[in-house]
Amino acid sequence: MAVNERLRNLYPDSEELFDIVLMTNNHAQVGVRLINSINHYDLTIERFCMTGGQSPIGYLKAYLTNLYLSKDSKKVQEAIEEGIAAAIMFKPDVESQLSETQLRVAFDGDAVLFSDESEIIVKQHGLDTFFEHEKQHENKPLAQGPLKCFLEALGKLQKKFYAKNERLNCPIRTFLVTARSAASSGVRVLKTLRSWGLEIDEALFLAGAPKGPLLQKIRPHIFFDDQMFHIEGAKEMGTIAAHVPYGIGQKYNKGKLIEPEKQQK
């Protein structure tokens, strides 16, 4: 909402703003309490969808939803299958201070912004094959992942600020926090982003280092990752993390293939 204010200042007639819709399985009766809470916290949420038990997925498309956040993994998976960027949110274990003036969004690379093709190679053939493959296909862009469109939408709004010369104090900042190694597999990622015409403000290539401490310094309002292992690491250090249940990372828990029986959650 802070971003919306800045946007309205610069472009008073534009409709390109953030619009928040509350989607809930709740019945209409709970609506009163929800509205009271919203007013209590001074939020601007005027659009509601109280589905009284039905699945909200159909409505997501009707609202042209760019991002759907929920605690229910089944609904999120359905949304992703329908092509809508979605993630399961988790509350961090520790509270941390977040910026009130700048929206900070952090993304994992593979299986979030990009497809999981490279993850499959690592998990099945190992690091060296992965590096070979990435070097050979350096100039072939990766396929897109579930959250690419959301980054695109953010980028569009960012460009509006740049156009008015506000690049240095833009109220939207995007981060790429990937376990990839820079010299051996980073070029393909950067070239893919460039070929999509997307810019990312900060890029951190970790080459396997733990993401928790760095996220703690970044303090994003939300961090998207496909592997629960990283989500848990982020949570422990106070980062608000959201799990994107997509790709081959779902079958592996901490690098080990989950037995098929245990996969049914």
Partner 1 sequence: MSLDPVQVMKVQDPMPSTCLSASNGDSQASWDDSKDIHENVDSTKKPKSGPVRRARKVEGGIFFPKPENAVTIAVSSRVLFRTEKEQKVFEQKGIEEYLRYQVEHENEPFAPGPAFPFVKALEAVNSRLRELYPDSEELFDIVLVTYNHAHVGIRLINTINYHSLFIERFCMTGGSSPIGYLKAWHTNLYLSADAEKVQEALAEGIAAATMFMSEKQIEVSETQLRVAFDGDAVLFSDESERIFKAHGLDKFFEHERENENRLLDHGPLKGFLEVLGKLQKKFYAKGHRMDCPIRTYLVTARSAASSGIRALKTLRAWGLEMDEALFLAGAPKGPMLEKIRPHIYFDDQMFHVEGAVEMGAIAAHVPYGIAQKYPHKKSTNAGK
Number of residues that bind partner 1 (CB under 8 A): 54
β-partners of residue 174 are 105
Q: How far is the CB of 156 from partner 1 (least distance, A)?
A: 18
Rule CB under 8 A: say whether 49 interacts with partner 1: no
The alpha carbon of 45 is separated from its chain's Cα centroid by a whole number of angstroms, namely 21
Q: How far is the CB of 5 from partner 1 (least distance, A)?
A: 22
Query: Which residues are CB-neighbours of 37 under 8 A, at least 6 positions away?
Result: none
Classify 83 in phi/psi space as left (phi over 0), alpha (psi -120 to 50) or beta.
Answer: left
Interacting residues with partner 1 between 170 and 209 (CB under 8 A): 176, 179, 181-184, 186-187, 190-191, 193-194, 199-209
Q: CA dihedral in degrees (109, 135, 203, 152; nearest 10)?
A: -50
Do residues 218 and 106 lie in contact, with contact meaning Cβ atoms separated by under 8 Å?
A: yes
Do residues 60 and 51 lie in contact, with contact meaning Cβ atoms separated by under 8 Å?
A: no
Please state the length of the chain: 265
CA atoms within 13 A on the CB side of 73: 11
Closest CB to partner 1 among 21 and 218? 218
Which of 14, 17, 126, 164 binds partner 1 (CB under 8 A)? It is 126
Name the segment binding partner 1 (CB under 8 A); options: 23-31, 45-53, 131-139, 145-153. Answer: 131-139
Six token digits for residue 36? 């009271």
Q: Which amino acid is at 89?
A: M
Which of 100, 168, 262, 265 binds partner 1 (CB under 8 A)? It is 168
Q: How far is the CB of 170 from partner 1 (least distance, A)?
A: 10
Do residues 182 and 155 lie in contact, with contact meaning Cβ atoms separated by under 8 Å?
A: no
As to burial, measured by CB atoms within 10 angstroms (0-12 exposed, 13-18 middle, 19+ buried), residue 86 is buried
Which of 38, 45, 89, 214 binds partner 1 (CB under 8 A)? It is 214
Q: How far is the CB of 193 from partner 1 (least distance, A)?
A: 7
Rule CB under 8 A: say whether 81 interacts with partner 1: no
Q: How far is the CB of 112 from partner 1 (least distance, A)?
A: 15
Among the options 19, 42, 93, 108, which is catalytic?
108
Q: Give the span between the Cα atoms of 130 and 122, in whole angstroms.
A: 6
Rule CB under 8 A: say whether 138 interacts with partner 1: yes
Which of 42, 255, 259, 264 binds partner 1 (CB under 8 A)? It is 255
Name the segment binding partner 1 (CB under 8 A); options: 46-54, 72-80, 133-141, 145-153. Answer: 133-141
108 is catalytic: yes
Q: Give the span between the Cα atoms of 223 and 107, in whole angstroms.
A: 6
Rule CB under 8 A: which residues touch partner 1? 122-128, 131-132, 134-136, 138-139, 167-168, 176, 179, 181-184, 186-187, 190-191, 193-194, 199-211, 213-214, 216-217, 227, 229, 232-233, 236, 254-257
Catalytic residue IDs:
108
